[in-house]
Amino acid sequence: MRYLLLVFLIITTQIEAQNNDQKQINEIYNTALTNGSGYAWLNYLSNQIGGRLSGSLQAQKAVDYTKKILDSMGLDRVWLQPVRVPKWVRGTPEFAYIESDPGLTNNVPICALGGSVATPLGGIKAGVVEVQGIEGLKVLGKEKIQGKIVFFNKAMDPTNIDTYMSYSGSVDQRYAGAIEAAKYGAVGVIVRSLNLRLDDFPHTGAMSYGDTPMESRIPAAAISTNGAELLGATLKLNPDINFFFRQNCKMLPDVDSYNVIGEIKGSTYPNEILVVGGHLDSWDLGDGSHDDGAGCVQSMEVLRLLKATGYKPKRTIRVVLFMNEENGLRGGTEYAEQASKNNEKHIFALESDAGGFTPRGFSFDCNQANFKQIESWKSLFEPYLVHLFVKGGSGADIGPLKNDNIVLAGLRPDSQRYFDHHHSANDTFAHVNKRELELGAASMASLIYLFDQYGIK
């Protein structure tokens, strides 16, 4: 009899807890969709400040603005965490053309890759050789590449439904193309933009020279997908064409910047910290609305939603707006170093850095015991059409926090349109849907709520 009574009490307690969870999550979603603030914050961040390249005046304005917003939210603590960041500047707009015959040219849209050196003042004009990825360099060999511009034309694979798999399959030519091409005597590289559609927007992104000496570094630029198609077709008709491009970007000394941090102190386990965040810096071509203004305002909105619904967290919930994810990861690295130095106990970290599109679910970097608990929450998200709970990556900025005692997670919105905008002038506020942005914030707040309620295994 006692055993049956105990079973009854356990089942009753579980049902009551689930009902409480359903009510809290429903209130979070209702508040986000009827009284959200993130869209207005993003409007200011995008349209009044604009692209926030690490080390720029706009990046500092974004620090000041987001700290002001966090200060106004009645959090227990708001502060700036100093971090030294690289300062790369693009300079005047880049220019390029295909020369099919002397004096016969077609202009094509390009942009310098982040971290690239400049061309000589008058630009570079040379013959072109096309390769389908870095592996194509070895096939051609030094004899055919010496003194030429290497055109990396490996497209993102359109057959992957997960577009990040396509991105991963092509991004090495952007990041390491200049290093590898220089080994074969190339004088410059042009890289097909990482974009699944055909358009006229070149997409920038980080590239590296590794330990290549300064005098051996060659300039690198991205060409729009339409431009890449034209260049590839022209090369097939006439392999002896020339390509001209000019850019005057440069790397300046590191400068001071900040991570922006705010927190609500936990009532029961204040030393257990849950982090939610995005990266405040962006590339400079657009206004960085999807990458990653959306993630920043969603993360700020998580704390506002919890307060607006009257929820009192058991654990400390902290929002971190990381600086310098795009071209250095200095903010994420500094945050993790300071957390370790201060002996802080982080048990969960969630990042939004995949655009402000409709949320589909989350990916988790965790052990099986924690993943089993997470899977038990799936039914709570089903009414909101959030159904993807998978093991996988989390986010670049929270990656340095990884250890055996933390669960890392990334918001996974629908990705089909993300690379239309990623790192390009097409990443603007006009392409953010208010309702989709709010649904993402509500999903994140709901997950944070559950980890606060139940902790980790």
> Which of 216, 248, 280 is where one domain is finished?
248
On whether residue 16 sits in a domain, the answer given is: no
397 in the same domain as 442: yes
On whether residue 262 sits in a domain, the answer given is: yes
Residue 17: the pLDDT is: 72
Read off the pLDDT band of 18 (50, 70, 90). Answer: confident
Strand partners, 99: 105, 242
Report how far residue 290's alpha carbon sits from residue 453's, in angstroms, rounded to the nearest whole number: 30
Annotated active-site residue 99? The verdict is no
426 in the same domain as 288: yes
- Beta strand spans in 182-309 (E): 188-192, 220-223, 242-246, 250-264, 269-279
pLDDT, average across residues 436-453: 98
436 in the same domain as 361: yes
103 in the same domain as 66: no
On whether residue 17 sits in a domain, the answer given is: no
262 in the same domain as 403: yes
- Cα distances from 256 to residues 63, 266, 330, 411, in angstroms, run 12, 31, 11, 29
CATH number at residue 74: 3.40.630.10
Report how far residue 20's alpha carbon sits from residue 18's, in angstroms, rounded to the nearest whole number: 5
Strand partners, 37: none
418 in the same domain as 378: yes
Range of 78's domain?
26-88+253-454
CA of residue 365 relative to chain centroid, distance: 17
Residue 190: the pLDDT is: 98
337 in the same domain as 275: yes
Strand partners, 363: 390, 410
Picking from 157, 148, 95, 102, the residue whose alpha carbon sits closest to that of residue 122 is: 95
CA–CA–CA angle 316, 402, 440 (5° rounding): 60
**Percentage of residues in the chain having pLDDT higher than 70:** 96
On whether residue 13 sits in a domain, the answer given is: no
Report how far residue 84's alpha carbon sits from residue 131's, in angstroms, rounded to the nearest whole number: 37
Phi, psi of 206 (to 5 degrees): -70, 140
On whether residue 287 sits in a domain, the answer given is: yes
pLDDT, average across residues 296-321: 98
Residue 16: the pLDDT is: 67
- Is 193 in contact with 201 (CB distance < 8 Å)? yes
Kindly name the residue from 94, 130, 180, 325 that is annotated as catalytic: 325
Report how far residue 30's alpha carbon sits from residue 8's, in angstroms, rounded to the nearest whole number: 33
Six token digits for residue 167? 């991105």
**Residue 6: is its pLDDT beyond 60?**
no
pLDDT, average across residues 243-272: 98
> Which of 248, 283, 302 is where one domain is finished?
248
Six token digits for residue 289? 């609305």
Residue 441: the pLDDT is: 98
pLDDT, average across residues 104-121: 97
**Percentage of residues in the chain having pLDDT higher than 90:** 95
The helix (run of H) or strand (run of E) holding residue 347 is strand 345-351
- Is 293 in contact with 41 (CB distance < 8 Å)? no
Cα-Cα end-to-end distance for the chain = 31
Residue-wise pLDDT tens digits, 142-160:
999 999 999 999 999 999 9
User: How high is the mean pLDDT of the chain?
Assistant: 96
239 in the same domain as 194: yes
Q: Residue 22: what residue type?
A: Q
**Residue 96: is its pLDDT beyond 60?**
yes
Read off the pLDDT band of 15 (50, 70, 90). Answer: low
Report how far residue 87's alpha carbon sits from residue 91's, in angstroms, rounded to the nearest whole number: 12
- Which residues make Cβ contacts (< 8 Å) with residue 100, sequence separation at least 6? 106, 234, 237, 238, 241
> Which of 248, 271, 291 is where one domain is finished?
248
153 in the same domain as 293: no
148 in the same domain as 102: yes
Residue-wise pLDDT tens digits, 400-414:
999 999 999 999 999
Read off the pLDDT band of 220 (50, 70, 90). Answer: very high
CA–CA–CA angle 172, 177, 178 (5° rounding): 145
Lowest mean pLDDT among 11-15, 344-348, 382-386, 451-455: 11-15
Report how far residue 22's alpha carbon sits from residue 17's, in angstroms, rounded to the nearest whole number: 9
Report DSSP letters for 157-192, one per residue.
-TT-SSHHHHHHHHHHHHHHHHHHHHHTT-SEEEEE
450 in the same domain as 425: yes
- Which residues make Cβ contacts (< 8 Å) with residue 346, sequence separation at least 6? 273, 274, 275, 339, 401, 406
Residue 14: the pLDDT is: 62
Q: Which residue has the tokens 């500092």?
A: 60
329 in the same domain as 200: no
Widest distance between CA atoms in the chain? 97
Residue-wise pLDDT tens digits, 265-288:
999 999 999 999 999 999 999 999
CATH number at residue 228: 3.50.30.30
Please give the tally of structural domains in the chain. 2
**Residue 345: is its pLDDT beyond 90?**
yes
**Residue 8: is its pLDDT beyond 90?**
no
Read off the pLDDT band of 19 (50, 70, 90). Answer: confident
On whether residue 19 sits in a domain, the answer given is: no
